[in-house]
Amino acid sequence: MTTTTTTRAATRPQPLAGPGSLRGGRRRRETLYQWAFLLPAAAYLILFFGYPVVKNLVMSFQDYGTATFYTGEAPWVGFANYAKVLGSSIFTTAALNTALFTAGSIVGQFVIGLALAVFFRKRFPLSGVLRSLLLLPWLLPLIASGAVWKWILDKDSGALNRFLEAIHVVPTGVPWLTSTSLALIAVVGVNIWIGIPFNVTILYGGLQDIADELYEAAALDGATGWRAFRYVTWPMLRPVVNVVLVLGVVYTLKVLDIILALTGGGPANASQTIATESYALSFQQFRFGEGSALGNILVLISLVFALVYLRASRRSVED
Amino acid sequence: MKRTSLITRSGLALAALALPAVLAGCGGASTTSSGSASTISVLDYYNNEPDKSFIGDALNQCAQKSGVTLDRQTVPGSSLIQKVLQQASSKTLPDVLMLDNPDLQQIAATGALAPLSDFNISTDGFAQGVLQAGTYNGKVYGLAPTVNTIALFYNKDLLAKAGVQPPTTWDELKADAAKLTSGGQYGVAFDANATYEGSWQFLPFMWSNGGDEKNIATPQTAEALQLWTDLVKSGSASSSVLNWTQADVKDQFVAGKAAMMVNGPWQIPTLDKQAALNYGVVQLPVKTAGQTEIAPLGGETWTVPQTGNKAKQAKAAEIVSCMNSDQMQLSMAKQRNTVPAKTTLAAQFASDNPKLAVFTNLIKTARARTGELGADWPKAATKIYTAIQTALTGKASPSDALQQAQNNG
C-alpha cells in the first residue's frame, strides 16, 4: 500500500535527526544516509505514481486528442473538459450507476463474506480445503471469469436460464445482460462473486484474533449464538470491518474489466459507470482530455474514501 | 493481491501511453537515424490464421521484389490504434502501416502519414468508396487492395422448411423472420451492440433508406431503426443482439439458432467448414422494392507513415504499391474471400467466384464511413449506436432516441 509507505517514510527521519547531542559533521552524514535510503522509494513513487497522476491532471486541462501524439501539441482549455463531461447526459447515469454498483457490491460481498468467515471459524472436516476453494474467483483472470459469466447469463442458451426454466421458476429466458433493468443487477452479482474471497480472507483473519476466552466468559454470562456475535464478535471485529469496507469501496469504484467483459456498459448505458465511461472516452473515442477529466473525478471520489481509510486504520492502530 | 495492482486504471493506462514520450530519447532514435533501407518494419492487425499467413506471404513477395527484408509485427485489432499513437509519440512509427479504413482519416489528420502522391503511386481504377476512405483533405494516404461489406446470409434448409424465399424488402424481412421464429430458433440475427460494429451493421439500412450520418434525427433513419426495433420487439430477433459481436451472430447462425444473419464474407471459411450447413447470400433488404442498397465499405488500407527516413519511405511505398497491384488484389481476394478494390478486377473476379458475386456487386456503390465526416466519423458512430441501444431497449421510440443522440453529441 503506497499510502502507508509514504507516511512511514516521512515520519522515520524525525526521531533519528532529533537529538542534538551528536556533533555537526556526523549529524550531516546521518541526514545524508537517511536521504539515500529514502531515494529508491521516492524515485519509485515519483516515476510510477507521481508522474502519471500529474500527467493525468495536466492532460485533463488540455485538448488532448489523436493528433497530440504525433505533433505533441495539446492546447490548454482550462476547465472545458470538466464542463463537458459533467454536463453530458451520460454523467448523471454513470454517477448513479457507480453509486448503485458500489453500494450493491459492497453490501453483498460483505454480508456473504462475513457469514462465510463466521461459518469457517468452526473447524470441521475439509474446512481448510473448502476455505481455499473459496479463493478461486480471486485466482482466475477477470477476463476469463467475465467470458464464462457472459455465457452463463446468456438469455437464450445460458446455463442460468436453462436451470431456472428446468425448475420452472421462469417460463422463458431472462435477459440478464440485455435488459436495462437487469444488466446492472447482473453485473453487481458477478462482482459480488469476485469480491467474496477478499472479504472472507480479511474477516476470517480478524476473527482468528478474537480470544476464545472472551466467548467462554460471554457464555458464562449467558451470551451464546447470535448474542455472542452481537456482543463479542462484532465489537471486536469493528476495526477490521472498517478497513474491509473502505478498501472495498475504493476497489469497487474503479472496477472496469468485469463490466466491459459482460455488457460493455450497455444496454443503452444501463451498466455504464464513471470508470467505463472514462475508458470509452480515452481508449475508444480517443478524447484523452475528457477521459482523463472524468478519470480525475473518479480519483477524487476514491480519495475521499482513502482518507476515511487512513483515519480508520490510524484509529485501529491507536486502539 | 490482484486488486491492488489495478489502482485507478485510467490514470495508469494514460501514463503508459504518455511514458514513451519521455523515454523516447533513450532508445527510440534508431529508426529515424539509420540510413540503410534494407529492413522495413510493418505493423498490421492480421494476428489470426489464416489471414496472418496470407498477408505475410503477400508482404514477403513484395519485399523480395524490392530487395528488402521485413520486420513484421501483428497486434490484435482492438489495440492497433493505441499502438500507433504510442509509436507516433515516441517517433517509432513503422515504415509500412496497415489501418482499418474508417481510422485512416483520423490518423492522417495528425500528420503522421505521407500522401501516396509523394511516391507516384497510381490510384487509377480503384472503386469510388475505396478512394473516399483513403483520402484526407484531397490527398490519398492509403489504399486497400481488397475490400468487403455486409449482406444477408440465410440457412437454405430452414427457409425451405418454412416455405419462404429470401427477403428483398423490409416487409418481407419482417414476415419471413416471424415465420422462421419458433422454439429456440430466431428468424434473424444481427449485431446491435454498443460499439462501432453495431453502427456499421445499421448503416446499410439507414443509407439505403436515405438516412445520413450528418444528422441522424431524420424520418428516413427513424424508419430504419423502427425496422430493427420491430424485429426485436416481435421476438423475431433475440434481445441479445444488444450484446452480440459479429462473431457471436455467426455462432448463432452456425448453431441453427438464427435462420438469417447480417454478416460479412470473412465468415465464409468458418461457414464452409460446417458440413451440415447449407447457406446462401443475398443483399440486404431495402424498404421498398426498387431502392438501391447502399452498403458500407469495409477493408484495411496500407499506408506510409512519416518516419523521417526518406530511403526507407521510398522502399515502404514500393511495398504499398506492390500490395495494391492487380495480381496481389486478385490473389488476396481469392484467399481471403474479399473483393478486389479495382472495379475492372472486381468484375472479372465476380464471374470467377460466383459465391462472392453479391458482395462484389455491392462494392460498386459502397460508401466509406468517413466519406462525409472524415475524422469526425467516430462521433457520429457513437451517436448511432447510442440511439440503436436506446430504441431497442424500449427506453424511447426510434425517432426520440435518434433525436436525443443527435442533440447529445
Tens digit of pLDDT for each residue in B26-36? 433 344 444 56
pLDDT of residue A137: 87
CB under 8 Å to A130, separation ≥6 — which residues? Answer: A120
pTM: 0.85
| pLDDT classification of B355: cutoffs 50, 70, 90 | confident
Instruction: Point out the least confidently predicted range of A87-96, A301-310, B153-162.
Output: A301-310
Cβ pair B13:A59 closer than 8 A = no
**Which tens digit of pLDDT belongs to each residue from A143-198?**
899 999 999 999 888 999 999 999 988 888 899 999 999 999 999 999 999 999 99
pLDDT of residue B360: 93
Query: Would you identify the CATH topology of the domain B37-148+298-363?
Result: D-Maltodextrin-Binding Protein; domain 2 (3.40.190)
B382 CB within 8 Å of a chain A CB: yes
Residue of A nearest to B20 (CA): A69
Minimum-distance CB partner of B9 among A72, A256, A268: A256
Cis check for the bond before A267: say yes or no (omega within 30 of 0).
yes
The share of chain A scoring above pLDDT 70, in percent, equals 91
Cβ pair A53:B11 closer than 8 A = yes
Above 50 in pLDDT, residue B2?
A: no
Which cell numbers in the block locate residue A258?
468485469
Above 50 in pLDDT, residue B77?
A: yes
Query: Would you identify the CATH topology of the domain B151-294+374-407?
Result: D-Maltodextrin-Binding Protein; domain 2 (3.40.190)
Contacts with A, B 63-122, CB within 8 Å = 81-82, 85-86, 88-89, 106-107, 109-112
Average pLDDT over residues A263-267: 88
**Which tens digit of pLDDT belongs to each residue from B194-220?**
999 999 999 999 999 999 999 999 999
The yes/no answer to whether this complex scores an ipTM above 0.85 is no
Query: Would you identify the CATH topology of the domain A82-318?
Result: MetI-like fold (1.10.3720)
Cβ pair B240:A265 closer than 8 A = no
Residue of A nearest to B255 (CA): A157
Cβ pair B238:A53 closer than 8 A = no
**3-state secondary structure string across chain A:** CHHHHHHHHHHCHHHHHCCCCCCHHHHHHHHHHHHHHHHHHHHHHHHHHHHHHHHHHHHCCECCCHHHHHHCCCCECCCHHHHHHHHCHHHHHHHHHHHHHHHHHHHHHHHHHHHHHHHHHCCCCCHHHHHHHCCHHHHCCHHHHHHHHHHHCCCCCCHHHHHHHHCCCCCCCCCCCCCCCCHHHHHHHHHHHHHHHHHHHHHHHHHHCCCHHHHHHHHHCCCCHHHHHHHHHHHHHHHHHHHHHHHHHHHHHCCCHHHHHHCCCCCCCCCCCHHHHHHHHHHCCCCHHHHHHHHHHHHHHHHHHHHHHHHHHHHHHHC
Q: A–B: how many Cβ contacts below 8 A?
A: 154
The domains of chain A are located at 82-318
Parts of chain B belonging to CATH 3.40.190.10: 37-148+298-363, 151-294+374-407
Cβ pair B8:A286 closer than 8 A = no
